[in-house]
Amino acid sequence: MDIRVIHLGGEVIIARVVNETDDMVTVEKPLTVYPNPQQGGLIFAPPLWVMMTGEIKFDLRKSTLILLTSASSSIEGDYLSSTSEIAANMRNAKEAAAGGNTERKQSPIIIT
């Protein structure tokens, strides 16, 4: 599994790279990485552009990236557990919506 840290300019994301060419990188399940000044560590949350599109796979032009590098093993583990938790939250939200429950709650994943 190829988990990478990507600096897009305005935000830093971590994502699974599913395809890479000389010009493009295709990522899946990107999460924005934020520092957590109150508890230390990092917070992972879906980027706004993911929540607005509902997509999970994106093609990024390498010429627009500031940084594309491998994630450390500890951050990779945190990412994998976060994406599993986010997927479970999304499944629960869909099931609640199908049952007529309009209450929807999703919070960022906090990594300390």
The per-residue pLDDT for range 58-85, each reduced to its tens digit, is 999 999 999 999 999 999 999 998 888 6
The per-residue pLDDT for range 1-26, each reduced to its tens digit, is 799 999 999 899 999 999 999 999 99
Segment 23-51 shows an average pLDDT of: 92
Please name the residues in contact with 104: beta carbons below 8 A apart, sequence gap of 6 or more. 93, 96, 97
For the chain, give every domain's residue range: 3-100
CATH of domain 3-100: 2.30.30.100
pTM of the model: 0.75
Instruction: In whole angstroms, give the CA distance from residue 29 to residue 43.
Output: 15
7, 67 contact by CB (below 8 A): yes
79, 56 contact by CB (below 8 A): no
